[in-house]
Structure 1
């Protein structure tokens, strides 16, 4: 028996490699829109969580300092631009630098990737405030709802604040359903 000295070639041919690259490119193109939606959903979840943390922080500061504490948008009533948490030492429900005690400032989300439209209950408006007992000031109980320009109004997340001062994150139905309240929002 004689053996052939020629070794069997191993590896991919150029044609096989080009077919695999073309398939990967097609699959990546199909997956890109879903990946963008996944990122948008996650950013909505993060913004809602950040606002809930700020609301609970304000409530805790109000109780700790025995004074009213406020969560207020940085720009008029536009919650999508960010907000600040402060102890309102002069009880005017507006942040005054040098007078009020600033607890934290949360800046706007990455608007280059995601733009937010914020729908809010009219009772929330320009602030969410807590008295020294941790209860919501006046009729400030309500909700702040975030939606995404990428997702449209099909997926909305928000923070619901009860009159007792408890906050929670809630998924809201599509805006087309006409419902701006999640199950059990009125406590």
Structure 2
């Protein structure tokens, strides 16, 4: 009599494991897709936050008013220009992006405060997920959930 042990899996055991992995992946996939959508909106809002912070810093450094012009492009996508008078300081073209941004005209005065007559909120949307960049009177910036009112 041969007492050798046979190591390995049977085909039935392998198929049960594959079926369990498929079921778990099927349950996790929808929540993973929604997480990706929300992160896309958050990432674009954080990029706008960084650009607005740069504009505010430049306004204080240069002792001049700085404008941030956000324009929506066709279908979706957006473009940002940071201007000191007519001088272009920085530009970001996201026209191929699937994330849409509400058109806005932001501005900062020589003290870094929000310039009068400029918008105080920018909405960033990707499908059903919306984030907003808020600019307070003192020039403070924050990104929160929801759309601008």
Q: Name the TM-score, length of structure 2 as normaliser.
A: 0.83
Match of 2:27 among 30, 36, 53: 30
Name the counterpart of 2:115.
137
Change (3 A) 1:126 1:157: closer
Name the counterpart of 2:6.
9
Asked whether 1:62 is paired with 2:59, we answer yes
Displacement after TM superposition at 1:63 (Å): 1.2
Asked whether 1:169 is paired with 2:143, we answer yes
Name the counterpart of 1:51.
48
Displacement after TM superposition at 1:59 (Å): 0.9
Unaligned runs of 5+ in 2: none
Aligned alpha-carbon RMSD (Å): 2.7
Q: Please give the alpha-carbon distance, in whole angstroms, between the structure 2 residues aligned to 1:66 and 1:132.
A: 5
Cα contact 1:59–1:134 (8 A) shared by 2: yes
Cα contact 2:79–2:91 (8 A) shared by 1: yes
Match of 2:133 among 159, 167, 187: 159
User: Secondary structure of 2:5's match?
Assistant: coil
Question: Counting helix residues as a fraction of each chain, which structure ranks higher?
Answer: 2
Task: Say how many residue pairs are matched.
Answer: 149
User: Secondary structure of 1:157's match?
Assistant: strand
Displacement after TM superposition at 1:40 (Å): 1.2
